[in-house]
Amino acid sequence: MNSANLYYISRNYKFSKNAASKPKMDCETILEKNGFKNLGFKQTNHPSSALGAIISFFGITKGLFLLPRKSVFCMQYPLSKFFGYITRIVALKKCKLIIIIHDVKYLMGKSTDLEGEMAKFNRADFIIVHNESMRKWFQSNGCTAELVSLELFDYLHKSKKRATLNNPYDVVFAGGLGKEKSEFLYSMDKLNPSNYTLRLYGNGFNAVDVEQADSILNYQGVFSPDEVIDKIEGSFGLIWNGNILDECSGEFGKYLLYNNPHKTSLYLLCGLPVIVWKKAAIATFIEKEQLGITINSLNELDDALKNLDPTSYSNMIANVEKIKSKVASGYFLSQAIQKVIQLL
C-alpha cells in the first residue's frame, strides 16, 4: 500500500478537565506517526462549542476538498455533526474508509436505533473496534466492514509514575464521581474493608452523601488529563460502574461488557495494577497479561487484597511496567492501523 495515500482531517477538540478529548487527540498523533497526513486545519482546543464547530466545519470542508480520489481516509467515531457530510464525500471520491471507534451510542444506552447506527458503520471498509467482545457484537449485528481489534487505548504521556505500596492498600478511582455513573462509591463504606481505602480523582463528588465520618473515601480533586498522572498516588486502580456493589449495573455498567475504558490506560500509565469486574471485556486482557485482579463483586475485594502475597503483587507491577511503555508510545493503535494497511 502506498503510504502517500493515507489521510485524516483534524478538528477542534473542546478542552475540558475530564479526559473526553484526550483519546481523540492522541489518535491523531498516532495516525501521523503511521504516515497519515492531516488535510484540515491544525488541531485546536477552543473551549467554546460554537467557535469549535465553525472551525471544525471549515477545516473538514477544506480537507474533503483536498482529499485525493481513491485514497485512504481515516476518521474517528462518534462525530455526530459531520459524520454524514464526511462519509458522503469520501464515498463520492471512491476512497477507502477506516473508522476508529471510541464509543458506540447504542451500547452506551444513548440511542435505541441500532439499525441506524449500524448503517453508519457499514459505510466503512475497515473499523478498529475496542476488543474481541465488541468485534463479536459488531459481527452479530450485521456489520459488513472488516473488523480489527485495538486491545487497549493508548495514552500518550511521558510517565515515571510507579505504584506506592501502603497498608492498607490505596485503591485509586478516577473518572466521573457523580451518582449517574458511580453511585456504588457511596455504598462502599458499608463493606467496612480493612485492607484498602479509596482515593477519588474527578468531578461530581457529592461529599454530603458520604455518611461515615471515618469514610474510606478520600477525595483528591479534579485535574486535567495530563495533570492527573502526576497527582495520582496509589497501589491499584479500580474500574467499576453503576449503582451497586455486586456487579456493574445500569447502562454504564453494561457498557463495560464491550468497551475499553480509557481509565485502564491511565492507571497502567501511572504504574498501577488494575482491579476490574470479571465480566468486563477488558478483564480478559488484564488476566492474560497478569496486570491486576478481576472480581465478580466489590464484596470480594477486601479478601482478595488480604490474600495477595507480595510476590504476586511485584509480578503485577513488573507486567504493568512492560505494558505502560507500549501505552505511552501509541503501540496499540499503531499495530491496529498497520493491520488495516496490510489488509488494504
The CATH number of the domain holding residue 298 is 3.40.50.2000
Dihedral of the alpha carbons of 12, 51, 57, 37, in degrees to the nearest 10: -30
Q: Which three cell numbers stand for residue 207?
A: 461529599
Position 14 in a domain: yes
Instruction: Identify whether residues 319 and 181 lie together within a single domain.
Output: yes
Instruction: Identify whether residues 111 and 17 lie together within a single domain.
Output: yes
> CB-based burial of residue 150 (10 Å sphere; 0-12 exposed, 13-18 middle, 19+ buried)?
buried
Instruction: Please tell me the distance from the alpha carbon of residue 88 to that of residue 84, in angstroms, as a whole number.
Output: 6
Position 93 in a domain: yes
Instruction: Please tell me the distance from the alpha carbon of residue 97 to that of residue 192, in angstroms, as a whole number.
Output: 52
Look up the domain containing 101 and give its range. 3-149
- Residue 232 confidence class, pLDDT cut points 50, 70, 90: very high
What pLDDT is recorded for position 205? 95
What pLDDT is recorded for position 149? 98
Instruction: Identify whether residues 175 and 323 lie together within a single domain.
Output: yes
Number of compact structural domains in the chain: 2
Instruction: Identify whether residues 134 and 185 lie together within a single domain.
Output: no
Instruction: Identify whether residues 259 and 213 lie together within a single domain.
Output: yes
What pLDDT is recorded for position 1? 54
**Which residue's C-alpha cell is 471549515?**
58
Instruction: Identify whether residues 129 and 249 lie together within a single domain.
Output: no
Instruction: Please tell me the distance from the alpha carbon of residue 164 to that of residue 182, in angstroms, as a whole number.
Output: 25
Range 231-255 average pLDDT: 95
Position 290 in a domain: yes
Residue 256's CB is within 10 A of a number of other CB atoms, namely: 23
Spatial neighbors of 283 by CB under 8 A, at least 6 apart, are 276, 277, 294
Residue 19 has pLDDT above 70, yes or no: no
pLDDT digits (tens, 9 = 90+) for 281-310: 999 999 999 999 999 999 999 999 999 999
Instruction: Identify whether residues 269 and 131 lie together within a single domain.
Output: no
Residue 31 has pLDDT above 60, yes or no: yes
Instruction: Identify whether residues 284 and 196 lie together within a single domain.
Output: yes
Residue 211 has pLDDT above 90, yes or no: no
Spatial neighbors of 90 by CB under 8 A, at least 6 apart, are 64, 67, 73, 97
Which amino acid does the sequence have at 51?
Answer: L
Please tell me the least confidently modeled range out of 9-18, 46-55, 122-131, 247-256: 9-18
Instruction: Identify whether residues 71 and 127 lie together within a single domain.
Output: yes
Instruction: Identify whether residues 63 and 92 lie together within a single domain.
Output: yes
Residue 222 has pLDDT above 70, yes or no: yes
Instruction: Identify whether residues 125 and 191 lie together within a single domain.
Output: no
Position 334 in a domain: no
Position 157 in a domain: no
Long-range Cβ contact pairs of 292-295 (< 8 A, separation 24 or more): 292/236, 292/237, 292/316, 292/320, 293/236
Instruction: Please tell me the distance from the alpha carbon of residue 52 to that of residue 49, in angstroms, as a whole number.
Output: 5
